Amino acid sequence: MKILVTCKRVPNPEHKLKIGGGKLDLAAASWQLNTFDEYAVETALRLTEKGKGGERSGEVVAVSIGPKEVGQQLRGVLAMGADRAILVGGDDAALDALATARVLAAVVAKETPDLVVLGKQTVDGDSNQVGQILAGLLGWPQATFLASIKLAADGKNATVTREVDAGVEEKRVRLPAVVTVDLRIIGKKAVRNEALAGPDAEWEETQRYASLKGIMAAKKKEIKDVTLAELGVDAKPAMTVTSYEAPPVRKAGAKVASVDELVAKLHNEAKVI
Amino acid sequence: MPAAVVVFCESDEKGIRSASLPALTAGAELAKQVGGDVVAVVIGAGVSAAAPDAARYAARVLAYDGAALAGPLAETWAPQLADAVKRAGATALLGTATSTGKDLLPRAAALLGAGMASDITAVLAANRFKRPAYAGNAIEEVTIAGPVIVASVRQTAFPAATPGAGGAIETVAVAAVDALGAELVGLHATQSARPDLGEAKVVVSGGRGMREGANFKVLEELTDLLGGALGASRAACDAGMVPNDLQVGQTGKVVAPQLYIAVAISGAIQHLAGMKGSKVIVAINKDPEAPIFQVADYGLVDTWEKTIPPLVAAVKKLKAGG
């Protein structure tokens, strides 16, 4: 089982954005791996783990697009346990989802994975598109917003549950396929490869953090630099951001002293109950 | 053929879903910009109720009907959307950013080779939109190049379309579609008599401070008393207190009710992204420094245990006219 997992760096979402003159200034941003991509890496790793003797089987390949600094985030993914990484050189900020998916489709063509795992969205662009576009470009089935995934023992298909507005949908897809993961995927028993792990297999209810041993091992693992020219992809975006503005500021209102005062204000002043 | 804007309308056996009405409004705005008509698209196995309902909002309806289209499967539905764009000679494809829309529209964009903007909140020109990013902390103005563009519409940013048109219905019988080895096994629907989170006039949400799922009972009582929908912060969903489909926030649902009551929610950026468009916000939290108070119209500093039961009693009394 070969699994390709996509990784994008994002500016720390807890830090205040610098917006002025129609521009977003990320020069001083501190970068980290997109949270949903951490979940994607965790999912990919679990799908190669807990064989009968506790052994691993399969390969997890992480791929990112960006400047050389992204090597730092990829090194972190290798320290979590991914086997090797590919860094496609490019201006990550200028790519839209379509261009990103075209680059990934070219990587898929070279790597021929059985499964591509992505986070359901990045928390900077908030687009929630890349996995679906990638599946469409490849002509592969897709399963988005996963809460769980079970790979069949014969490696031919995956049964998943998806978080949808109406509840939880169960879907089966033939491999190779593209899947995107939601937050429930890091549940104890949310991920299982039936070829390896038994029905009782469980993991810690979190994405893993790099151990010291993992960090040491990661230093010896490969991060392969690839250029867009080598992939033969036109990464010209169709959607471009022409300007940024800060959202309107909502003013804090008043504190009320009691439940009775709250009800009176909601009834008489705001007239909402 | 004049330019057209295709709007994907979700439907059930009764007609089109109200979640799709804001997309029809955005579609009409965009159609004005391109100087064309709105073409509504419904898809399913049996769309005899949906098609005439959609015709009340559009100049033309393309109704894709076939046994192979039962259930919203991206693999079989996205090709119909791409077909509709070509059939209508459309320059744009829109739909509401529901879970189905989010699953389907980007795949259709891929089939069309089109650029796509997610979650648009304003139509500025034929290919220019506003949309939030960075958990709503930046509003982007975006331009999409190309002969066809795709956008998903933020449900809370556009009013529901009002009926008035009497569009012609064209049924497209779909015999077979290659599902690419994908199949819908089943839907475990959340049973709820409450209104949809995206459309409720009142939303009551609980956060990590509720501590466990059983404690949401008291919030449900308040919710039902106000005729609202129940929500939750990501922290509460993460902790497994409530199902993830209740999640309000950047990575969950975006709501903009008349009244939003946040209980034991600290107000992380990612939560604020999903509710700060609400008309009136009430925050109840024992921590006076909680960031939620910075966006709340009315703040009450106390625990949920001490405030929600008396709040339920007070609202009951008010409803009883006294």
Put simply, whether B310 touches A (Cβ < 8 Å) is yes
| Stretch 75-114 of chain A: residues touching chain B, C-beta under 8 Å | 96-98, 101
Query: A246 at the B interface (CB within 8 A)?
Result: yes
Instruction: For chain A, say whether B56 makes contact (Cβ under 8 Å).
Output: no
With CB atoms and an 8 Å threshold, state whether A164 touches B100: yes
Mean pLDDT score, B160-177 = 94
ipTM: 0.97
Contact residues, chain A, for B186 at CB < 8 Å: 169-170
Judging contacts by C-beta atoms under 8 Å, the chain B residues touching residue A167 are 187-190, 243, 245
CB-closest option in A136, A170, A270 to B111:
A136
Judge contact between B229 and B197, C-beta under 8 A.
Answer: yes
Q: Closest residue of A to B293, CA-based?
A: A252
Q: What is the pLDDT of residue B295?
A: 96
Provide the whole-model pTM.
0.95
> CB-CB: which of B103, B143, B288 is closest to A132?
B103
Q: Does A140 touch chain B (CB under 8 A)?
A: yes
Residue B98's contacts (CB-CB under 8 Å, 6 or more residues apart) are: A165, B10, B19, B155, B198
pLDDT at residue B215, as a whole number: 97
Residues of chain A contacting B107 with CB distance shorter than 8 Å: 132-133, 135-136, 142
Looking at chain B, which runs of residues are DSSP E strands?
4-8, 37-44, 60-65, 90-96, 115-120, 122-125, 128-133, 138-144, 149-153, 168-173, 182-189, 202-206, 229-232, 259-263, 280-285, 298-301
To the nearest whole Å, the CA of A187 is away from the closest chain B CA by 9
**Chain A CB within 8 Å of residue B48 CB:** no
**What tokens appear for A65 in the block?**
């697009």
Give the residue on A whose Cα is nearest the Cα of B315: A263
Parallel/antiparallel/unpaired status of strands B202-206 and B229-232:
parallel
**Out of B137, B142, B189, whose CB is closest to A241?**
B142
Query: pLDDT digits over A51-82, tens only?
Result: 999 999 999 999 999 999 999 999 999 999 99
Report the residue of chain B nearest A123, measured CA to CA. B134
pLDDT for res B136: 94
pLDDT tens-digit profile of A151-178?
A: 999 999 999 999 898 889 999 999 999 9
Contacts of A134 (CB under 8 A, 6+ apart): A101, A104, A105, A108, A116, A118, A140, A178, B110
Nearest CA in chain B to A168: B188
Confidence (pLDDT) at A252: 85
pLDDT of residue B1: 56
pLDDT-above-70 percentage for chain B: 99
By three-state DSSP, how is residue B162 classified? Answer: coil
Q: Are B246 and B197 in contact (CB under 8 A)?
A: yes
